[in-house]
Amino acid sequence: MKKTKIFYWIFTGLFAVAMLATCIPSEEGKTFITGTLGFPPYFVTYIAVAKVFGVIGILVPGFATIKEWAYAGLFFDLISVTYAMYSINALAGFAMFGSIYFALGITSYFFYRKKLQETQVTIA
């Protein structure tokens, strides 16, 4: 039980930091998002705020349903950016970083579910 909690917090912390690091893009990043990918400028702020709420959701203890939704939202973001990069044929350069984010998220979620099973908490 204790090892599971330790691994959960390590991977959840790393995943949270990784997702927060992508919240505030540089000017070059904003230009890439709006110019190359074609998203409207307000989308940069919108997705940053959504990521912050998602990170808060996975870090706050308890609130199992909110945590599940937060994981879903963060994975939706990762899937969306992967598809956006694929659509402009830039997936090769993104694949290494993207796979790190996915690996951290999947590992964090795995240990979250394992921790829930060990504590006999069920999600309604």
Average pLDDT over residues 109-113: 94
- Residue type, position 11, single letter: F
* Torsions phi, psi for 121 (to 5 deg): -95, 135
Q: Is the pLDDT of residue 95 over 80?
A: no
* pLDDT tens for each residue of 30-65: 888 888 888 898 988 999 999 999 999 999 988 889
Q: What percent of the chain has pLDDT over 90?
A: 49
What secondary structure does DSSP assign to 55-116, as a single string? HHHHHSSS-HHHHHHHHHHHHHHHHHHHHHHHHTT-HHHHHHHHHHHHHHHHHHHHHHHHHH
Residue 59: burial class (beta carbons within 10 Å; 0-12, 13-18, 19+):
middle
User: Which residues, 6+ apart, have CB-to-CB distance to 116 below 8 Å?
Assistant: 64, 122, 123
Per-residue model confidence (pLDDT) at position 7: 94
Average pLDDT over residues 95-105: 87
Q: Is the pLDDT of residue 123 over 70?
A: no
* pLDDT tens for each residue of 3-21: 989 999 999 999 999 999 9
CB atoms inside a 10 Å sphere around CB 60: 11
